[in-house]
Structure 1
Amino acid sequence: MEKLKQRILEESSVLSSDVLRMDAIINHQVDPALTMEMGQEFAKRFAEQSITKVITVESSGIPAAFAAAYVLGVPLVFARRKKTLIADPDVYMERVPSFTKGIVTDIMVSKQFLSSDDRLLFIDDIIANGDAARGLIKIIERSGATLVGMGIVVEKSFQAGARTLREQGVRVESLVKIASLDNGEIKFE
């Protein structure tokens, strides 16, 4: 998506050779029109997969996942990172480290929202090391649902996350691939 690349160049900032701040586009402020275009692109790429639900991890993946679910006409399920007083106690749970937050959290999905009949499209905002993705994939496997693929808004291809998932047989479709953030410069593949 050339429009997304242009917005990244104009509105993002490189914090280090590993970290790109995209708060103005997808992580803090959300552009609804651009996000809907992302959803349309993901829906197009996975149109033949008979998807029953879109799934993501709270919270930055929710807008793009919502857009894809809306275009596909299916529900969106998201893995929560925090337990609430009204949360369903019957959940699939996995402990995952967060690259950008520098902490380990639990992600959980209520068992009532996943079944062996589901064909899931996993959408996420950024993939770096892929720890959260691997955690959610374990939850999907335990539920008996089928993961048809993963749509990533921004893949940092210089980190191992997406490559590792592809090597494990997961179909990963990225809208933008960043090859390097060295010397404060964003280089796309």
Structure 2
Amino acid sequence: MELLKQRILQEASIMSSDVVMLDAILNHQVDPALTMEMGREFARRFAEDGVTKVITVESSGIPVSFATALELNVPLLFARRKKTLIADPDHYSERVPSFTKGIVTDLMVSKSLLSPDDRLLFIDDIIANGDAARGLVRIIERSGAHLVGLGVAVEKSFQAGGRTLRENGIRVESLARISSLDNGRITFED
């Protein structure tokens, strides 16, 4: 998606050869027009897959997931990272490390919101090592729902996340694939 690539080149900050900060467009501030374009593109790519729900991990994945769910006219479900006082005590849970946050968190999804009849489209903002993605995939598998694929706005393809999911038979669609952040420069895969 050329528009996303151009915005990344204009507004991203490279923190190291492993970390790119996309706060201005994706992770802290949201550009509604760009987000809706990403949602339309994911909806186009997965239009024939019979998606019944879009699922993501809170919080940065929510805007793009919302745009995708809106375009597909299906509900959006997100895995919580923190248990609340009113959280459903009957939930699926997975403990996952976060590459960018440097912490381990629990992903939780209420069992009442997933069923074997669901055909889920997992949408996320960025994939690096893929730990959170694999955790949510395990929750989906335990629920008996069918995962039609993962749509990710930005894949850091020099890290293993997207590759390992593909090797496990999961369809991964990325709107922009960054192959390198070396020498303070963003390089995209074709």
TM-score range normalised by the length of the shorter chain: over 0.9
TM-score, normalised with respect to structure 2 = 0.99
Segments of structure 1 that go 5 or more residues without pairing to the other structure are none
Report the alpha carbon displacement of residue 5 of structure 1 after superposing the two structures with TM.
0.6
Report the alpha carbon displacement of residue 59 of structure 1 after superposing the two structures with TM.
0.4
Please list the CA deviations of residues 168-188 of structure 1 after superposition, one character each: whole Å capped at 9, or x if unmatched: 000000000000000110000
Partner residue in 1 for 2:113 = 113
Counterpart of 2:143, as a letter, is S
Report the alpha carbon displacement of residue 149 of structure 1 after superposing the two structures with TM.
0.3
Partner residue in 2 for 1:151 = 151
- What is the 5 A alignment of 1:42-53? 42-53=42-53
Please list the CA deviations of residues 146-187 of structure 1 after superposition, one character each: whole Å capped at 9, or x if unmatched: 000000000000000000000000000000000000011000
Please list the CA deviations of residues 50-86 of structure 1 after superposition, one character each: whole Å capped at 9, or x if unmatched: 0000000000000000000000000000000000111
Say if 2:76 is the partner of 1:89.
no
Please list the CA deviations of residues 104-149 of structure 1 after superposition, one character each: whole Å capped at 9, or x if unmatched: 0000000111000000000000000000000000000000000000
TM-score, normalised with respect to structure 1 = 1.00
- 1:49 is paired with a residue whose SS is coil
Partner residue in 2 for 1:163 = 163
Using the alignment, how far apart are the partners of 2:84 and 2:161 within structure 1?
A: 30
- What is the 5 A alignment of 1:125-140? 125-140=125-140
Structure 1 ranges of 4+ moved more than 4 A:
none
Partner residue in 2 for 1:35 = 35
Question: What is the alpha-carbon root mean square deviation over aligned residues?
Answer: 0.4
Segments of structure 2 that go 5 or more residues without pairing to the other structure are none
Using the alignment, how far apart are the partners of 2:135 and 2:52 within structure 1?
A: 20
